């Protein structure tokens, strides 16, 4: 009986302590997009700038697609492991 409780407990501990690298990549892509977009506020946008912005946005969307419907609470938990 003790072993039946031990296995799920170990699984929970391992899953909580592991780092979801894909989620961390999503956060990094979002940060890169935000940082780049911030640099464009006071400038006249060139075609090159627009293309880079679109590329960063597509990259972020691709990396974050699996997390679109995740709750904010769960995202905050995953974010803690990315630091």
Quick: pLDDT tens for 41-64.
888 999 999 999 999 999 999 999
**Residue 45 falls inside a structural domain:** yes
The number of folded domains in the chain is 1
**Residue 35 falls inside a structural domain:** yes
Provide the whole-model pTM. 0.72
CB 78, CB 23: distance < 8 Å: yes
Radius of gyration of the chain (CA): 19
Query: What is the domain extent for residue 71?
Result: 22-80
Q: How confident is the model at residue 17 (pLDDT cuts 50, 70, 90)?
A: low
Q: Crossing angle for the helix pair 21-38 and 72-80, nearest 10 degrees?
A: 100
Q: What percent of the chain has pLDDT over 90?
A: 72
**Residue 60 falls inside a structural domain:** yes
**Residue 6 falls inside a structural domain:** no
**Residue 76 falls inside a structural domain:** yes
């Amino acid at each position: 009986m003790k072993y039946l409780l031990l296995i799920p407990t170990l699984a929970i501990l391992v899953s909580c302590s592991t780092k979801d690298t894909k989620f961390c990549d999503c956060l990094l892509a979002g940060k890169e997009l935000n940082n780049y977009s911030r640099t464009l506020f006071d400038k006249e946008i060139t075609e090159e700038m627009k293309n880079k912005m679109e590329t960063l946005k597509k990259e972020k969307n691709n990396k974050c697609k699996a997390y679109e419907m995740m709750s904010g609470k769960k995202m905050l938990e995953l974010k803690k492991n990315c630091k």
